[in-house]
């Protein structure tokens, strides 16, 4: 049985005519002999609207109830798509995350997939049905509905593909993966292939076309992921293991993110327990810390800077307030007007000079940076948001992106 997993995002499902068009595509693929599992997001901006309604009642809604609310969006999409398939004469069934056997763990609104009991999905496929699964959701050990965070439908799709040992096709409102987001740099190059490792870095650093956990699962279980426009009229991009046929450029891509803030804590008494406590407090609240820098000790004090999602600002403020009570001599700066900009490429492993070239680009264009961190295949900077466009153009020209 040749199985294909397809995932459709919210923009692909924003109205009934689009849902019917997708149903036609799925039906034709089924007629071609494939068994189909479809993962759907909520229609259009449904999730944002649901969150807005919750926030209009309460500034900090209960996570459990927020999950209950947000999960309804995908249920609407899955039911409507299944109805559209049945109208075409194609037997289908819609399943919630719970019904599809998706078990999760973690904090509400940020759960992670623990396991998928795939037997029920397999049985429906054996019966000839198209199985339409709600993305973005599952059930925890207490039986509560949970959600997987932004981009969670990608994660659902790739995780199902890993269990069914098949390819995963992600259909969205872009026609593939580009060296730079074409919305911010229209002449960016579309990539035919990209390695899991490069895509994971790009997704983690702001490339919204794929969710990092989805790429991580794909890499772990060697699930080929195809990203393409929902109409199917253009050739998309494959995410897969690096091989000799993939051109190895020094820099494959550039990403930017305006979704982070930067926290600087000055005059922290130099004690490993103090530093450990800061990051333990953040970890306890499941706050994802990215760029971390610390000065060398001076007069037995250090300054610590890190970036974190702006969406967690309320929790971060509370943590910083508690930290100030225990360390009254520290001063705290919180900068929301920053952009994280990163260059990524496997070629950096074998070729030197990328960092020097980046520093020269910044110097020549009078672009100040506040932090810099590196890995084997990535260099990231925090810069003032006002300099973002200038930085993108300068770097793209220098590396032919």
pLDDT digits (tens, 9 = 90+) for 340-385: 999 998 888 877 788 899 999 999 999 999 989 888 889 999 999 9
Region 59-79: what's the mean pLDDT?
A: 94
**Same domain flag for 156 and 23:** yes
Region 59-66: what's the mean pLDDT?
A: 92
Of 94-108, 227-241, 249-263, which has the strongest mean pLDDT?
Answer: 94-108
Region 210-227: what's the mean pLDDT?
A: 92
**Same domain flag for 20 and 115:** yes
* CATH number for position 217: 3.40.1160.10
pLDDT band at 75 (very low <50, low <70, confident <90, very high): very high
Contacts of 207 (CB under 8 A, 6+ apart): 177, 181, 199, 253, 255
**Same domain flag for 184 and 43:** yes
pLDDT number for residue 60: 86
User: Which domain-ending residue is among 214, 245, 276?
Assistant: 245
First to last CA, the chain: 41
pLDDT number for residue 374: 87
pLDDT number for residue 284: 86
**Same domain flag for 255 and 240:** no
Q: Among 13-27, 147-161, 198-212, 293-307, whose mean pLDDT is lowest? A: 198-212
- pLDDT surpassing 80 at residue 249: no
**Same domain flag for 128 and 252:** no
**Same domain flag for 371 and 383:** yes
User: C-alpha angle with apex 341: 340 to 346, nearest 5 degrees?
Assistant: 130
**Same domain flag for 163 and 239:** yes
Give the Cα separation of 257 and 67 in Å (integer): 26
User: Which domain-ending residue is among 216, 245, 274?
Assistant: 245
**Same domain flag for 231 and 332:** no
**Same domain flag for 271 and 229:** no
Rg (CA), the chain: 23
User: Which domain-ending residue is among 219, 245, 271?
Assistant: 245
pLDDT number for residue 245: 58
Closest CA to 258 of 311, 214, 294, 306: 311
pLDDT number for residue 348: 85
For all residues of the chain together, what is the average pLDDT? 91
Count Cβ atoms below 10 Å from residue 145 Cβ, excluding itself.
Answer: 23
**Same domain flag for 253 and 397:** yes
* CATH number for position 301: 3.30.2130.10
pLDDT band at 247 (very low <50, low <70, confident <90, very high): low
Of 156-160, 273-277, 329-333, which has the strongest mean pLDDT?
Answer: 156-160
Q: Among 72-81, 115-124, 222-231, whose mean pLDDT is lowest? A: 222-231
* Structural domains of the chain, count: 2
Give the Cα separation of 202 and 212 in Å (integer): 8
Total-model pTM: 0.80
Q: Among 28-32, 52-56, 274-278, 390-394, whose mean pLDDT is lowest? A: 274-278
Percent of the chain whose pLDDT exceeds 90: 61
Contacts of 32 (CB under 8 A, 6+ apart): none
40, 81 in Cβ contact below 8 A?
Answer: yes
**Same domain flag for 225 and 258:** no
Domain that holds residue 11: 3-245
**Same domain flag for 64 and 208:** yes
């Amino acid at each position: 049985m040749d199985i294909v997993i397809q995932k459709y995002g919210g923009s692909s499902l924003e109205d009934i005519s689009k849902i019917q068009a997708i149903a036609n595509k799925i039906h034709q693929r089924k007629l071609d002999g494939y068994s189909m599992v479809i993962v759907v997001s909520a229609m259009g901006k449904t999730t944002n609207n649901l969150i807005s309604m919750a926030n209009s009642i309460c500034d900090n809604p209960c996570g459990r109830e927020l999950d209950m609310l947000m999960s309804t969006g995908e249920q609407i999409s899955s039911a409507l798509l299944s109805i559209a398939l049945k109208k075409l004469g194609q037997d289908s069934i819609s399943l919630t995350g719970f019904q599809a056997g998706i078990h999760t763990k973690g904090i509400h609104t940020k759960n992670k997939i623990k396991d998928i009991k795939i037997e029920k999905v397999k049985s429906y496929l054996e019966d000839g049905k198209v199985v339409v699964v709600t993305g973005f959701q599952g059930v925890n050990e207490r039986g509560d509905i949970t959600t997987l965070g932004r981009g969670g439908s990608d994660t659902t799709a790739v995780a199902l593909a890993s269990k069914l040992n098949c390819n995963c096709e992600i259909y969205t409102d872009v026609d593939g993966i580009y060296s730079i987001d074409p919305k911010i740099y229209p002449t960016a190059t579309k990539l035919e292939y990209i390695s899991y490792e490069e895509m994971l870095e790009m997704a983690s650093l702001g490339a919204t076309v794929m969710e990092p956990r989805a790429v991580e699962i794909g890499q772990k279980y060697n699930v080929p992921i195809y990203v393409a426009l929902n109409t199917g009229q253009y050739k998309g991009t494959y995410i897969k293991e690096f091989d000799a046929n993939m051109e190895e450029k020094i820099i494959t891509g550039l990403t930017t993110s305006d979704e982070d803030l930067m926290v600087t804590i000055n005059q922290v008494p130099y004690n490993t327990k103090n530093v450990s406590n800061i990051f333990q407090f953040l970890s306890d609240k499941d706050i994802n810390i990215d760029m971390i820098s610390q000065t060398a000790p001076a007069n037995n004090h250090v300054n610590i800077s890190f970036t974190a999602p702006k969406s967690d600002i309320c929790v971060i403020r509370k943590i910083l307030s508690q930290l100030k009570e225990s360390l009254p001599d520290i001063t705290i700066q919180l900068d929301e007007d920053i952009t994280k900009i990163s260059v990524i490429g496997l070629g950096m492993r074998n070729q030197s000079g990328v960092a020097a070239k980046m520093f020269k680009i910044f110097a020549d264009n009078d672009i100040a940076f506040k932090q810099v961190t590196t890995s084997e295949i990535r260099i990231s900077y925090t810069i003032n948001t006002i300099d973002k466009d200038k930085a993108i153009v300068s770097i793209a020209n220098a590396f032919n992106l």
